[in-house]
Amino acid sequence: MKTFRKFLLGLGIILFAMLVVAYFLPRHVHVERTGTIAAPAKVVFNQVNNLHTWDKWAVWMQMDPDMQVEFENTGIGKNAAYTWNSENPNLGAGKLTITESVPYDSIATEMNFMEEGISTSYFLFEEKHGQTAITWAFDTDLGNNPVARWMGLFFESMIGSDFETGIANLKVVAETIVQEGRPIVELVKLPEFNYISIREDVELEAVSTQMGQVYSQLMNLIERHDLVMTDMPYAIYHKIDGNRIDLECGIPVDYGIEQQGAVLSGKMPSRTYATADHIGSYENLDQTHSFIQRWIPENGLTLAGSPMEKYLTDPQQQPDESKWVTVIYYPVR
């Protein structure tokens, strides 16, 4: 009996000592890992900024293939989020939200682990010579819970290991995208703008010739009315029926004018688009169009209008087709 009392007394002393020591342990925990990825920052950034892609590289997204995941606010960019629910006790349930998103520079997130509290994380991206240095960091406040503070001693090894694996996975994903030359699709919201345009029904074989004539006509109109071109020319493909296209060619300008004959003038409303750059000849534009068309439903979005192309390169100024840049936009909701 005396031995048992001594055991209890000793155990009590140990527990008391652990309780006292706990309050001297760090309350704030910071875990950080870095890596270098042979891909532009735009490529790496978008694998993090799009929560739909996390299952390709984030360790905990791969631990339970039956985990229930629901996305909020498109799952892409600032204020996007996903909730998860897993029967795996190591995963449980929670919510991750992108709280800040600065394109190609940084992303901040908040993870709500429900009864276990809230933590924050951030990603930093720095591109040099076509490679991207990435920093992934985690911060949490353990409060005054002595058990949590003791557990905090193991965060560096446990979370750090997951971060190292996640960055290694992200490296494979991003570098594969570059090697395969896949387009990077992003969500953007274009502001409204004034325009002048001409909309015609054109035969497919005559599109290039017709576009050249229309843009020349619009440029002459800009000169006559002292308009200022505020962005590069664009084309909207309203409908394709066999070998005929309902095509609208336009130029953004500083203010609208009254309609003159076939020339339309108005204000393009602000919209959200799924967009990607096409690098190279116009003959291969259909490949990038097809990629975006597949990307839209895969990311839980719905097409909300006709596609638009914006031509950033003037073929008369740049004869090398491999350097032509065309931005393709698909309105979505």
Q: How do residues 127-140 score in pLDDT, each as one tens digit?
A: 999 999 999 999 98
Helix ranges, the chain (H): 2-22, 41-49, 59-62, 146-151, 155-180, 207-224, 285-298
Which amino acid appears at position 141 of this protein? D
- Identify the band that residue 24 occupies on the pLDDT scale cut at 50, 70 and 90: very low
What is the Cα–Cα distance from 184 to 78, expressed in whole angstroms?
18
pLDDT tens digits, one per residue of 241-300: 999 999 999 999 999 999 888 999 999 999 999 999 999 999 999 999 999 999 999 999
- Give residues with Cβ within 8 angstroms of 139, minimum separation 6: 28, 29, 30, 119, 120, 121
- What are the tokens at 230? 């505020």
Which amino acid appears at position 76 of this protein? I
Position 306 scores a pLDDT of 97
Domains recognised in the chain with CATH numbers: 23-180 (3.30.530.20), 186-331 (3.20.80.10)
List Cα–Cα distances, 21 to 14, 17, 24, 28, 143, in angstroms: 10, 6, 5, 15, 14
pLDDT tens digits, one per residue of 200-219: 999 999 999 999 999 999 99
The pLDDT > 90 percentage for the chain reads 76
Whether 222 has a pLDDT exceeding 80, the answer reads yes
Please compute the mean of the pLDDT values over residues 64-78 and round it to a whole number.
Answer: 94
Nearest one of 128, 127, 133, 119 to 170, comparing CA atoms: 133
- Give residues with Cβ within 8 angstroms of 68, minimum separation 6: 84, 85, 86
Quickly tell me which residue has 């629910």 as its tokens. 85
Please compute the mean of the pLDDT values over residues 99-119 and round it to a whole number.
Answer: 91
- Identify the band that residue 7 occupies on the pLDDT scale cut at 50, 70 and 90: very low
pLDDT tens digits, one per residue of 169-194: 999 999 999 999 999 999 999 999 99
Following CA atoms 234, 239, 245, 250 in sequence, which dihedral angle do they give, to the nearest 10 degrees? -20
Please compute the mean of the pLDDT values over residues 22-30 and round it to a whole number.
Answer: 61
Whether 47 has a pLDDT exceeding 60, the answer reads yes
- Identify the band that residue 148 occupies on the pLDDT scale cut at 50, 70 and 90: low
The length of the chain, given as a count of residues: 333
List b or e across 109-132, with b for residues whose CB sees 16 or more CB atoms inside 10 angstroms: bebeeeeeeebebbbbbebeeeeb
- What are the tokens at 308? 């638009």
- Identify the band that residue 11 occupies on the pLDDT scale cut at 50, 70 and 90: very low
Q: E strands of the chain, at which residues?
A: 28-37, 68-72, 81-85, 93-102, 106-112, 118-128, 131-141, 186-190, 193-203, 234-241, 244-253, 263-268, 271-279, 308-311, 325-331
Position 89 scores a pLDDT of 85
What is the Cα–Cα distance from 138 to 161, expressed in whole angstroms?
12
What is the Cα–Cα distance from 185 to 151, expressed in whole angstroms?
41
Position 151 scores a pLDDT of 58
Position 21 scores a pLDDT of 44
Nearest one of 32, 224, 251 to 134, comparing CA atoms: 32
Burial of 78 (0-12, 13-18, 19+ CB in 10 A): middle
